[in-house]
């Protein structure tokens, strides 16, 4: 409890701030490449849900264009994902701007991935317990299959992390993350360019997500 409530947030912010300072030249190069290949803005911003069901603005590098069909609607993700975007995703470089979210205190380096607000009513009470921990850039689900997992398996890993969070486990996840990134495992589920939308699971039918907040 002491680690999760006091030490972990402090270490997160210190490491995230240091990382942003050290990576600034590299980040500027990536910004230039994205602006040239995909246009502006270079950052993708979206509302996500974090600790205690609180909403925050999530940022990452843009990986898709804004190409639209004749009906004016955005084309499918697979058609808008560029070669540079695929590279950024496969190497997880698109996630680096989230160090800013960590430095601000919206996210942790390690924890369940922050998801969309519209998923809230689709969780079961058990699945919603994933919001009892600060969301992270990487997490237990990411090093155990990432987007290759079903939503139900991801949430089981997330809840397990909530119940077992420790300094030792975070170090293990960090080490496993480097291995997973270099191996480029679980980038996407077969047949999907990006993660499919979570529409709910059978277990969520017993409770439309009205679980207690931490």
pLDDT in tens, 194-210: 678 898 877 555 554 44
- Residue 211, pLDDT score: 42
Look at residue 174 and tell me whether its pLDDT is greater than 60: yes
pLDDT at 57 over 70: yes
213 within 8 A of 131, measured Cβ to Cβ = yes
**70 pLDDT exceeds 60?**
yes
Q: Give the tens place of pLDDT for each residue, 108-135.
A: 999 999 999 999 999 999 999 999 999 9
- What pLDDT was estimated at residue 188? 53
Residue 115, beta-bridge partner list: 49
Q: Which residues of 112-121 are buried (b: 16+ CB within 10 A; e: fewer)?
A: bbbbeeebbe
What is the overall mean pLDDT for the chain? 87
Helical spans, DSSP H, in 39-166: 77-80, 83-90, 98-104, 151-164
- Note the pLDDT of residue 190: 53
Q: What is the C-alpha R_g of the chain?
A: 17
What is the model's pTM? 0.84
Long-range CB pairs of 65-69, under 8 A, 24+ apart, other chains included = 65/38, 65/39, 66/39
**Residue 194: predicted pLDDT:** 62
The percentage of the chain sitting over the pLDDT mark of 70, rounded to a whole number, equals 88
- Cβ atoms of 61 and 97 closer than 8 Å: yes
Identify which of 129, 108, 112 has the alpha carbon closest to the alpha carbon of residue 120. 129
């Amino acid at each position: 409890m002491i680690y999760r409530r006091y030490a972990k947030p402090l270490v997160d912010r210190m490491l995230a701030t240091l990382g942003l300072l050290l990576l600034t030249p590299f980040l500027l190069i990536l910004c230039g490449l994205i602006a040239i290949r995909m246009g502006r803005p270079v950052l993708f911003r979206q509302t996500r849900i974090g600790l205690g069901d609180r909403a925050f603005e999530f940022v990452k590098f843009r990986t898709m264009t804004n190409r639209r069909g004749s009906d004016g609607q955005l084309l499918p993700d697979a058609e808008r994902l560029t070669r540079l975007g695929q590279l950024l995703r496969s190497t997880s470089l698109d996630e680096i701007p989230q160090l800013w979210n960590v430095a601000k205190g919206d996210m942790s380096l390690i924890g369940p991935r922050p998801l969309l607000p519209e998923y809230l009513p689709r969780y079961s009470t058990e699945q919603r317990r994933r919001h009892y921990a600060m969301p992270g850039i990487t997490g237990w689900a990411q090093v155990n299959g990432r987007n290759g997992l079903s939503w139900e398996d991801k949430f089981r890993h997330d809840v397990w992390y909530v119940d077992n969070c420790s300094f030792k486990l975070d170090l293990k996840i960090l080490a496993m993350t480097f291995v997973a990134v270099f191996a480029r495992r679980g980038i996407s589920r077969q047949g999907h360019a990006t993660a499919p939308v979570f529409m709910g699971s059978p277990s969520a039918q017993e409770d439309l997500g009205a679980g207690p907040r931490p």
